[in-house]
Amino acid sequence: MLSLKKNFLFIHPPKTGGTSYKNVLKKYETAATPGAHHSNFFEELTDKSWQDLFEHYDQKIIEGDEEVIKKIKALPEPIKDPNKYTEFIPNLKSHLTSDFHLAASQWRELMHPELFNSLLKFGIVRNPYDRVIALHLWHNNGIFDKEKFMHKVRKHAYLLFNDYNPCMYYMGLVRDTNANKEEVDAASRKSSAATVEKLIKLESCVDFCLKYEAHLNQETVNSLCSQLSIEPSKLLHLNKNRRITDRKHYSHYYDDEMYDLITDLYAIDLQVFNYKFEDQR
């Protein structure tokens, strides 16, 4: 979420509670920037998820609801032409994510370097052991399926840009490490934290990060609003996954195989944001 008026950029990886924060910040969002159209629907997410809302609007459109159709047609340009801001650099946009979750490196491609560097940049992160479970349950209609989970994580964790990227991929800029041919060949044979780190170097470009576990509260919201010189507003829990029938602590989903996989693939988040596996089994 970009605000030129208040000079900030908020980086929001999926399933980190960022929609709730965007609702606080939306009054100052620069219109017609990537993802800005989503703010028109935040008020409807108090008792629905994005999935529920998509289905609701799809049905209304099928039924020919004139009020809904008028609202959709009146949305800012990005939803009408999702490639408008990315057609000049095709690799910027992936079908695996949306402009609601642009990484810092993607935002940097959309603006002048001096503007990007001048912005106060901050984001929100979440324990990767918890976040990947939330992502899986979101994509699998609230149902846990270990086989699907393992396949999805293995396939997408290092594939830029998509929902399963570590939060640090969203917060950082990729630098070339000038790896030699042998290191490139080794990485192509095995995707792991150790091999990938030889090929790319991630440098954080945000000024600070909020944490899902500690900062989804009104006290933090008030402090942030004061720092940004904006009016504080109430923090609401938006976009809750209401399709989970058996809600439990993330550790209950894990066995040794899953633990080893996430520990390896999300090592950078564990290290940079100081997260650990909290076992409540």
Which of 163, 166, 141, 167 has its CA nearest to residue 152? 163
Half-sphere exposure of 65 (CA within 13 A, CB side): 12
Q: Determine the residue type at 48.
A: K
Question: DSSP 3-state assignment of 241?
Answer: coil
- pTM: predicted TM-score of the whole model, two decimal places: 0.84
pLDDT tens-digit readout, 86-140: 444 444 444 445 778 999 988 998 889 999 999 999 999 999 999 999 999 999 9
**Which architecture characterizes domain 2-272 according to CATH?**
3-Layer(aba) Sandwich (3.40)
pLDDT tens-digit readout, 20-77: 999 999 999 998 788 888 888 899 999 988 888 888 888 988 899 898 888 877 765 5
From residue 10, alpha-carbon distances to 29, 151, 196, 197, 216 in Å are 10, 30, 27, 26, 15
Q: What angle do CA 260, 264, 266 make, to 5 degrees?
A: 115
Average pLDDT over residues 194-216: 81
| Alpha-carbon span 128 to 270, nearest angstrom | 7
Where are the domains positioned within the chain? Answer: 2-272
- In which band, very low, low, confident or very high, does the pLDDT at 276 lie, cut at 50, 70 and 90? very high
- In which band, very low, low, confident or very high, does the pLDDT at 183 lie, cut at 50, 70 and 90? low
Question: DSSP 3-state assignment of 150?
Answer: helix
Which of 20, 272, 4 has its CA nearest to residue 120? 4
pLDDT tens-digit readout, 249-262: 999 999 999 999 99
Interhelix angle for 146-156 vs 128-139, to 10°? 110
Which of 193, 29, 19 has its CA nearest to residue 98? 19
